[in-house]
């Protein structure tokens, strides 16, 4: 009797979850709502901004950090105290287990971009010691991932790099320099192999 009651409760729970999933799918099909999986962690510092437009889907176990981290940030042009911003436009799909870190720059992910699994987008990756002994982030400048681009599984986009519109980045590629529109790039370091 107890086992039967337990099974009935489980069936009710599964039906309830299934209804929730169907509701979310309906909302996504109407292109009016965004979906962020509950296991995704998003950290935004006080001085920073994250903007997620409609119809954005963010999958499981992503880590998104938009943080100034230090009181002072410096870039190649000598500017200090830049605010970190992440702008995600309409129709972007970010799959599972990705790492997006924005420090002291604006990262713009334009409409229709598809990001596969285990992708790293790093906007600043090291610190520099000043004459006074303080550590400061060294940043390269604002970054853009162009509209309708595809980032393959396991690729890495390094600081200061911009990806053009309609670009395919192959799986495992390490992008160390900016890529032009309508191209396919692969390898470590990534190089353009043909047009798209």
Mean pLDDT, each 10-residue run in order, the chain (196 residues): 44 44 40 78 82 88 80 50 82 92 88 93 72 65 90 91 92 91 90 82
Q: What is the pLDDT of residue 131?
A: 65
Give me the pLDDT at residue 20, please: 44
Bridge pairing between strands 183-186 and 191-195: antiparallel
pLDDT at 166: 93
My answer on whether 43 and 117 are in the same domain is yes
Domain encompassing residue 171: 33-195
Here the CATH number for the domain that contains residue 188 is 2.160.10.10
Are 133 and 98 contacting, i.e. CB atoms less than 8 angstroms apart?
Answer: no
Query: What's the CA gap between 120 and 101, in Å, rounded?
Result: 8
pLDDT at res. 23: 40
3 and 89 part of one domain? no
With 0-12 CB in 10 A as exposed, 13-18 as middle and 19+ as buried, what is 182?
A: middle
Between CA 179 and CA 140 the distance in angstroms is 16
Number of domains the chain is built from: 2
DSSP strand pairing (93-94 vs 114-115):
parallel
Provide the pLDDT for residue 191. 87
């Amino acid at each position: 009797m107890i086992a039967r009651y337990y099974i009935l409760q489980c069936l009710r729970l599964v039906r309830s979850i299934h209804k929730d999933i169907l509701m979310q799918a309906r909302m996504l099909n109407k292109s009016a709502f965004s979906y962020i999986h509950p296991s995704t962690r998003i950290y935004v510092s006080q001085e920073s901004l994250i903007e997620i437009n409609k119809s954005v889907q963010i999958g499981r176990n992503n880590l998104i950090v938009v943080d100034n981290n230090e009181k002072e940030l410096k870039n190649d042009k000598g500017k200090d105290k830049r605010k970190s911003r992440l702008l995600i436009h309409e129709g972007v799909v970010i799959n599972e287990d990705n790492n997006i870190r924005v420090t002291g720059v604006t990262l713009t992910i334009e409409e229709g971009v598809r990001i596969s699994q285990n992708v790293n987008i790093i906007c600043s990756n090291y610190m520099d010691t000043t004459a006074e002994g303080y550590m400061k982030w060294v940043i390269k400048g604002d970054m853009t991932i162009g509209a309708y681009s595809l980032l393959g599984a396991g690729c890495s986009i390094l600081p200061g790099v911009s990806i053009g519109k309609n670009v395919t980045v192959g799986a495992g590629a390490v992008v160390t320099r900016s890529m032009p529109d309508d191209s396919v790039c692969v390898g470590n370091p990534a190089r353009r192999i043909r047009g798209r």
